[in-house]
Amino acid sequence: MSSVFESTGSGNRRGAAESSSSLLYESGHDASLWAVLAGASDAQQFCQSWLAIQSRLIPAVEGGLVLLLVQQDGSYAPAAVWPDVRRDMSYLTDAAQRALTEGRGLVVPVIPENAPAPTAYHVAYPIEAVGKLRGVVVMHVSPRPEPELQGVLRQLHWGAAGLEVLFVRDEVYRERASRERLQTVLELVAAAAAHERFSAAATALATELATRLHCERVTIGFLRGSKVHVDAVSHSAQFKERTNLLRSVSAAMEEAIDQGGPVLYPPVPGRAAAVSRAHEELAGKQGSGAICTVPLSSAHQIVGAITFERPVDRPFDDDALELCEAVGGLAGPMLEVHRREDQWLVVRAYWWYREQFEKLVGPGHLGFKLAGLMVAAVVLFLLFAKGEYRVAAETALEPLVQQAAVAPFNGYIRDAPVRAGDLVKQGTVLAALDDRELKLEWLKHRSEQEEQFKQYRQAMAEHNQAQVLIVSAQLEQTRAQIDRVEDQLQRTLVTAPFDGVVVSGDLTQSLGAPVERGSVLYEVAPLSSFRLILKVDERDVGDIKEGQRGNILLSAFPREPVPFQVQKITPVSTAKEGRNYFRVEAALDYDEPRLRPGMEGVGKIEVERRRYAWIWSHQAIDSLRLMLWKWMP
């Protein structure tokens, strides 16, 4: 039966490293291993000596393996093997994979078939540094009691601090190098940004790059059309672009721009080789030892390039190439903006139109030519073809008659069987008010009336004329109150005045709520009589006349246009969203049974046939006329 032990936790790594070092020195092992560990020049040599020390500290270790993360593809590769680097340790990878997956130390027993007990153990412990899994160490140890196995796992836990220090140190070095490179790039670009004119900024950047990167010459060029023109040379305020040197440099820049990436000559081992024929010719003619050309990009387009030339004893390595690419990526947009802003408006327009004309009449750019032909065809069509000019406006359906059902007196909602959208017949109960208090009041007044009748009869029997008059007046008052209550009881039911649809009102969620006399409970409109309201913009109202026809598409029926005819144009405008609209009333040609009050859509009023160019441009032209009229003296 297999068993797995969890590690005791990461703990304090600095204290772990100190405890591990103290333990190793006190054990008195071979000092040569410590010398190799202290003077290791790379991670593989460090891990090999570290694994040897751990294997000597842990008794009865038959083999060990250290796997480290490969940053390029995310896999894990062997970095150290003990006792012999030629020994196949692939059988330890299962335990390593489990430790990496679970992220903790494991002790995995090895039990062959038909064996009563484990014959060995694989002890694996993951190596974590700076919050990332960096690798794993696996030991093949002989059988031993469980406390000793826990001691092996504990020793790997403390010893792993040494490897973590290695990765932390490398991370610090990388961050420091990246920070220094970024600072250098910012300083270089800042030197160029301090100048307002493009030529001064480009020359300052080229000179600063030549000084910082120990280059013999740095050249900056930008594309104009399909050719690269040299704009700046380090340590040179004036230069002749047509010299053989600058022609060769321009060819090298065009070679890098065509490939869309940096070009190194001679190539750096381990990097994909790019075509460098122009760079080779430049090096042969000018005697340059090493050349690097980096494209300049702006707005996701290559706009130029920078060529760096170094002596033969200073070839470009990966660090220098990264710095050159960083400068190109940051300086490209800045220099391109400087270059465009430094040109006259006429020159900028000339170059833009020249580029477009070259695309249109020159070789290639088939898509651009087709687009030009299509644009010409569209322009001719707009200028000569005619279509129906229609004025569009937002529309809404309103009923010709709309009656409100109001509360007859102060009371409470007892029942509300209908709501907005329901079809009702004349006399249909829309809402019922609570009548319990009215019935109690009616009973109260009836009892008062009976009592007053008794008083009246008694006064008549006693021939008390004054009392008879008083009681008669009280009876009249009580009778009037009874009539009022009975009238209110009859009006507790709010009914529909005619056949139609409930336009507004929903009391289903307000049962028991109080209402005041005159409050609108429902609005009812007939289903057969509608008028169409169009909100016409004041810019178009001059084209609208009574009797014009049009069509409306309602949101509820977007595939079924309904014809209408303009009947009335109101002379009063309403403001909405910063624009003025006039209310235009129209009548539908026929009654559609599916229409409902409040439906909205878009209506178009037919005016006359006009050219498409005028239809789609007259509003902009009119706005321009108003603006010119406003500013003209």
Question: Would you say residue 1 has pLDDT above 50?
Answer: no
User: What average pLDDT does the structure give for the chain?
Assistant: 80
pLDDT at 28: 40
The whole-number pLDDT of residue 24 equals: 37
Residue 101 CA to residue 99 CA, distance in Å, equals 6
Query: Is the pLDDT reported for residue 234 higher than 50?
Result: yes
Q: Nearest Cα to 241, choosing from 207, 199, 195? A: 199
SS3 9: coil
| pLDDT for position 458 | 85
What is the layout of strands, in order, in the sheet containing 61-69? 76-82, 61-69, 132-141, 120-129, 106-110
- Higher pLDDT, residue 45 or 11: 45
Provide the sign of the torsion angle of the four alpha carbons 145, 148, 150, 156, taken in this order: negative
Task: Tell me which of 534 and 148 has the higher pLDDT.
Answer: 534
Give mean pLDDT, residues 144-157.
83
pLDDT in tens, 57-111: 888 888 888 888 876 667 788 888 888 778 888 888 888 888 888 888 888 888 8
**Mean pLDDT over residues 43-64, rounded?**
82
* Confidence (pLDDT) at 30: 56
Q: What average pLDDT does this structure show over 201-213?
A: 87
Highest-confidence range of 52-61, 485-494, 537-546, by mean pLDDT?
Answer: 537-546
- pLDDT given at position 10: 36
| pLDDT in the model for residue 461 | 83
For residue 485, pLDDT over 70 is answered with yes
- With a cut of 50, say whether residue 6 has pLDDT above it: no
Highest mean pLDDT among 234-238, 467-471, 535-539: 535-539
Q: What is the mean pLDDT of residues 506-531?
A: 78
* Whether 488 contacts 438, CB under 8 Å: yes
Q: What is the pLDDT of residue 3?
A: 36
Question: In this model, does residue 26 exceed pLDDT 70?
Answer: no
Closest CA to 324 of 220, 402, 444: 220
Residue 528: which residues within 8 A CB-CB, separation 6 or more? Answer: 591
590 vs 567, residue with greater confidence:
567
pLDDT confidence of residue 270: 64
Q: Provide the pairing of β-strand 386-399 with 600-611.
A: antiparallel
